[in-house]
Structure 1
């Protein structure tokens, strides 16, 4: 089924352009600091365990702020909240660059994460309010550019800046773009209504934030420890308990922070599960190839970062095709392509051709682009416009937590295999075995895509029957 190419309005084009600036900065900073950990440890005279909080603090701040973005957008207006979020992110970036100690840097990263966590959910609310359901897929394809490319290119950009200038440069990079993006947002984004919001669900906010932060921290600790860890176990248990409490509270409250009743919609539920699983498969798998290039092939961080760029290129090649057919069928096709393209990585050796790896990564990127973008589009299309502010934070949380779970699990699996294989050939085999886990996660992601495709097929049949009945009644 081909979707009508309804043209974008000038206001929608401006909104997409402005949101892409902030989204790129937010997603770039999720990975750009990773390559600077050792440099930060030396320059700031702190242990790696302490410096690791520079990465973790940003992720925790992102996780904590996302649940409240829907309510805040209704209370203050999405455009106003976006301007504030991008400004806070920019100020936080400048403070990071000027930090004289690791403690100041960690605090500045928290501020940066508070702004960065609100940018993408609020930006999505802005453009979904302006786009029709027929336009949603093409808008999602444009927004997917920073979502896919920024984390992929982050390690390479970070490596170049750290080696050429210094660690401060990875934060100064955000400042001019943040200032320009904020100015454009003030001038170009439409000012929607503000103040039309229910009282803040404080109990829900505390439970949701504690749950998401606990799980995010626990997964980060689990991945860093590469195995069982007491702090990770406590955090995961506390986070799971808080989330369970939030679910019970949200289903009973008259005006919950997040409307979990949205999952009563079968299409939205299937799309959400697919988004979660695909986030785990892609972003979890994304951490393996840079490690392979550095550990097995001996490449430096810049070359390793550049060698994974073909994944982003593949996703861009897929972008024009993400909205030409039904979202469910396209998501399933993408998951199938992603699974097939993952198979060659299960046979990695210490001498596998770089050309072959880059070509397969392009195909894998195409699979990711054809799966994650339509799945998210289908989630939005399944809901009425007034439910978008509730759905957007939930989809962002699912994608980010899915990526965190995938990263933690695969890191633990890889470390367990590497510990028993000191030779380069053995290490390559360890990566190959770990990619079998990636393959299993990818296959699992195809299941909700099938459910989504079936739900869409039934919906189209019901629409056709309804139209036929109306036409028949008119003739009579």
Structure 2
């Protein structure tokens, strides 16, 4: 364990001790963020490997995101109860075990289960790491700390798909998980040596009952909906039974949350108009955007015949676009109001998506890369200001609960978006090739790879993707309605905020 002397009061310079802590936290953040992006480019390979359909394989991403949403609220309670250093090392351990098991998966079901385990660890890495770093730096250096944590968040969406594509092509899909093992072991050793030891403190009672309602409820609801194409409609038992059970659990949670003292998700926050509007905007945004991001690399691999690595490289312009606007948008949203930043950002994203609603097997790459860059510019101007708008008018004592709620909404909506758009694509591919839903993607792959049917099959496949992206565009356009009611001016300093508007937490991009 190292001890560090705090910098002089008022100085925002990060001293050597804080920088050592920052290195450990950044390594953990890199693992968590890379694992939300490297998998997407491997989905087509995994579909063929396990002879399954896209609406099944997407659970590798959906299960991971739902696991993240599950453990985010646990992190604050566990940090107090067991200490942040212990929690951080436990999170690394869970993530390592999940990564090793995912690399050894023998079928799609085992891979989904091990991805969920990985998500339990990954979900705690970012919030616990943020807590450790902000405590080490002190309140007067929060801005510097957020800047440090922002680096892997900006680079992850660029580097993740490229690294994942290279590993899938040059080594094996299993190495998109095994790659975490050496990074995790180094992070674990550094955490044990560098992170300051903290003592567990008395904490509020955690709402485990609420967690056992929300997480299975969401999973059951998404599972029921994802069965619609293969079951042939909503009347099938495998559709309505899990969906109804999921809805029942979620409704029960809402009624219970209004009666218990420390609910998993504090619904009283939604009495604040700005917070509620921001959360509705965030929900539509994440459903549309994260769902589309799951499908983009598969279009390049399946319809255009690109390698996984090339698909990763083709996605890079979006990351560069976000890198340009994200830091600027965060600053300006605090000064001129979120609405004036978010609405133009959404318009840019919609403009970029137009190209993907007109896809063919021969759409020029310069057009697609330009569209991705424009979408990245819009995304960078949208996510952080929405998060800031959610927090800016709240009291200081509500900030931790609000940050937790924001992250839960983001991950849950992303999981729903991934599932819904994957279901639409699976159904469209099955319809184009005249096969059952479970065989749609495999039939498309076989037809595209056959020289005799390649041209026609590529056209049909691209057409299925264009229709799916049209649905994504419709969902994103709906986001304009709540976004129009976001704060249009700089908010007044909230009561009890000690003269400062708290910084928004980093948002994990997928």
Asked if TM exceeds 0.5, the reply is yes
Distance 2:27 2:389 in 1: 24
Whole-Å separation in 2 of the counterparts to 1:449 and 1:118: 30
Q: Residue 492 of structure 2 corresponds to which residue in structure 1?
A: 459
Question: Partners in 1 of 2:267 and 2:13 — Cα distance?
Answer: 31
Q: Which moved more, 1:302-311 or 1:138-147?
A: 138-147
* Contact 2:346–2:476, Cα closer than 8 Å, also in 1: yes
Q: Which runs of 5+ in 2 are unaligned?
A: 1-10, 434-455, 500-510
State which drifts further: 432-441 or 243-252.
432-441
The answer to whether residue 450 in structure 2 is matched with residue 440 in structure 1 is no
| Aligned partners of 1:77 and 1:192 also within 8 Å | yes
Cα distance change of structure 1 residues 70 and 171 upon mapping to structure 2, 3 Å threshold: same
User: 1:71 offset after TM fit, Å?
Assistant: 2.2
Which secondary structure state, in structure 1, belongs to the residue aligned with residue 479 of structure 2?
helix
1:192 & 1:391 partners in 2: Cα distance?
25
- Give the match for residue 93 of structure 1: 99
Offset of 1:294 from its aligned partner? 2.8
Asked if the contact 2:321/2:375 (under 8 Å) is kept, the reply is yes
Match for residue 402 of structure 2 among 391, 414, 417: 391
Q: C-alpha separation between the residues in 2 aligned to 1:221 and 1:27?
A: 29
| Corresponding position: 1:338 with 2:344 | no
CA 1:253–1:172 in 2, change beyond 3 Å: closer, same or farther?
Answer: same
Within 5 A, what are the aligned runs for 1:255-270? 255-270=262-277
Conserved? CA contact 1:346–1:433, under 8 Å: yes
Structure 1-normalised TM-score? 0.80
Q: String of CA shifts for 1:347-373, please: whole Å, max 9, x gaps.
A: 323322111211221111111011002
State the alpha-carbon separation in 1 of the partners of residues 295 and 152 from structure 2: 21
| Superposition pairs of residues 337-356 of structure 1, within 5 angstroms | 337-356=348-367
Which moved further from structure 2: 27-36 or 396-405?
27-36
Answer whether contact 2:62 2:419 (CA < 8 A) is retained: no
Structure 1 residues 181 and 219: CA distance shift in structure 2, 3 A? farther
- Work out whether residues 156 and 303 of structure 1, in 8 Å CA contact, stay in contact via their aligned partners in 2: yes
Cα distance per residue 1:450-476 (max 9 Å; x no partner): 32223x5463799xxx9xxxxxxxxxx
What is the SS of the residue equivalent to 1:451?
Answer: coil
How much does 1:418 deviate?
A: 4.2
Distance 1:273 1:96, change over 3 A: same
- Residue 27 of structure 1 is matched in structure 2 by 33
8 Å contact from structure 1 (residues 341, 364) kept in 2: yes
2:86 to 80, 87, 90: 80
Asked if structure 1 preserves the Cα contact closer than 8 Å seen for 2:157 and 2:316, the reply is no
Question: Is this contact kept in 1: 2:63–2:415, CA < 8 A?
Answer: no
Match of 1:180 among 176, 186, 211: 186
Structure-1 separation of matches of 2:463 and 2:106: 43
Alignment-derived partner of residue 65 in structure 1: 71
Task: Indicate how the Cα distance of structure 1 residues 164 and 221 shifts in structure 2: closer, same or farther if over 3 A, else same.
Answer: farther
Structure 2: distance between partners of 1:47 and 1:65: 31
CA RMSD of aligned residues (A): 3.9
Mapping for residues 63-462 of structure 1, pairs under 5 Å: 63-97=69-103, 108-126=114-132, 143=149, 146-147=152-153, 150=156, 154-189=160-195, 194-218=200-224, 230-327=237-334, 328=338, 329-419=340-430, 421=432, 423=456, 424-454=458-488, 456-457=489-490, 459=492
Structure 1 unmatched runs, 5+: 1-5, 467-476
Partner of 1:474: none
Q: Which residue of 2 aligns with 1:470?
A: none
Q: State which drifts further: 111-120 or 375-384.
A: 375-384
More helix by share: 1
**Greater Cα offset, 306-315 or 403-412:** 403-412
Q: Count the aligned residue pairs.
A: 456
- C-alpha change, 1:232 and 1:34, in structure 2 (3 Å) is farther
Q: Normalization by structure 2: what TM-score?
A: 0.75
Deviates more, 1:268-277 or 1:411-420: 411-420
**1:72-113 CA distance string (max 9 Å, x none):** 223223343222212221233234445678777665444322
1:19–1:394 CA distance, 2 compared to 1 (3 A): farther
Q: Secondary structure at the match of 1:22?
A: helix
Give SS of 1:66's match. Answer: helix
